Amino acid sequence: FVMSLLLGTTLTISSNHWIMAWAGLEINTLAILPLISKSHHPRAIEAATKYFLTQAAASALVLFSSMTNAWHTGQWDITQLTHPMSCLILTSAIAIKLGLAPFHFWFPEVLQGSPLTTGLLLSTIMKLPPISLLFMTSPSLNQTLLTCMAVISTALGGWMGLNQTQIRKILAFSSISHLGWMAIIISYSPKLALLSFYLYVLMTTAVFLTLNSINTLKLSTLMTTWTKTPTLSAMLMLTLLSLAGLPPLTGFLPKWLIIQELTKQDMALTATAISLLSLLSLFFYMRLAYCATITLPPHTTNHMKQWHVNSPTNTTIAILTTMSTMLLPISPMLSTML
């Protein structure tokens, strides 16, 4: 299944023809479904069904958009998307595939019903094909629609994550919020949107692997991890603060460059709005970081107070955490490349 995922992703990224890109998206969808429903729990089956229905509808819209464009222009090339209606339908279809608001409802539910490792795939590698399609069609996309969806995504991602206690749902709303930042800039600087996506993948991978290592799925369990794995808890706190976009951590870099680029495009008001809306998600990141580092949680039992390290620090997690927190000094080089 993982090989099929890699095949579908590679096929979509490397294709110039719409049918090949659509085939790659379909292979991806079919490969991830057994991974979501692997536990045979009713919750997992429900998540797989929701994911299948949503992605099938989005793939049909992608195909319909490309066929409409080919009917009017005779072009099947991905970069030659010129028909206005096709551009509008494609923007909506990719927004559904990514989970951009107002098409975001499926994503937290699917992530909540999936294991942490599958949730990592859903949040990272499964977002790459739609992002690459957005990258290739960025000159012809509907900028007004994308900007509206981006601002709504940032607002909803922060607002709806405030009252969650399940960590997978919090990370789902975090993903929706980050996608808003990527969508708002992709029409003006596609390379910057890709950079933002890569750094998001780096930080999210570190968070998911750490949570998988300490076997934590909700806030109440996260409160007791410090006594068991203090090193991993401290690393998780740093990565979460980086995801929140606090300087001088890596997560501040894409937000800084995006705000700079939006200001250059005379969109200072939009940049201000999206920055203020990201403060909502900062709250639940701070709450997660606080829960990860709390040394004596409320309502503790004697079992919780025992010091026993049952998960040694993984080298991969250590490398990813280091990169998730210390890449800000490379910003001058990235600024010249962009």
DSSP for 148-182? Answer: HHHHHHHHHHHHTTTT--BHHHHHHHHHHHHHHHH
pLDDT of residue 180: 94
pLDDT of residue 297: 66
Q: Is residue 308 over pLDDT 70?
A: no
Contact status, residue 127 vs residue 98, Cβ threshold 8 Å: yes
What are the tens digits of pLDDT across the range 76-119?
888 888 889 999 999 999 999 999 988 999 999 999 999 999 99
Where would I find the H helices in 215-330?
A: 219-222, 230-244, 252-264, 268-293, 302-305, 315-326
Q: Is residue 303 over pLDDT 70?
A: no
Q: Is residue 332 over pLDDT 80?
A: yes
Distance CA 331, CA 52 (A): 39
pLDDT of residue 29: 94
Chain-centroid distance of CA 270 in Å reads 21
Q: At what angle do helices 167-185 and 116-123 cross, to 10 degrees?
A: 10
Segment among 9-23, 136-150, 173-187, 323-337 with least mean pLDDT? 323-337
Distance CA 235, CA 229 (A): 10
Q: pTM of the predicted model, to two decimals?
A: 0.92
Residue 205: pLDDT band (50, 70, 90) is very high
pLDDT of residue 32: 94
pLDDT of residue 109: 94
Cα angle: 125, vertex 129, 132; to 5 degrees: 120
Segment among 116-125, 195-204, 291-300 with least mean pLDDT? 291-300
What are the tens digits of pLDDT across the range 231-279?
888 899 999 999 999 888 999 999 999 999 999 999 999 999 999 999 9
Report residue 75: phi and psi, to 5°: -110, 130
pLDDT of residue 229: 81
Residue 334: pLDDT band (50, 70, 90) is confident
Cβ neighbours for 90, distance < 8 A, ≥ 6 positions apart:
61, 62, 65, 66, 81, 133, 137, 141
| More confident position, 109 or 310 | 109
Q: Is residue 165 over pLDDT 80?
A: yes
pLDDT of residue 142: 83
What is the residue-wise DSSP string for 172-219?
Answer: HHHHHHHHHHHHHHTTT-HHHHHHHHHHHHHHHHHHHHHHHHHT--BH
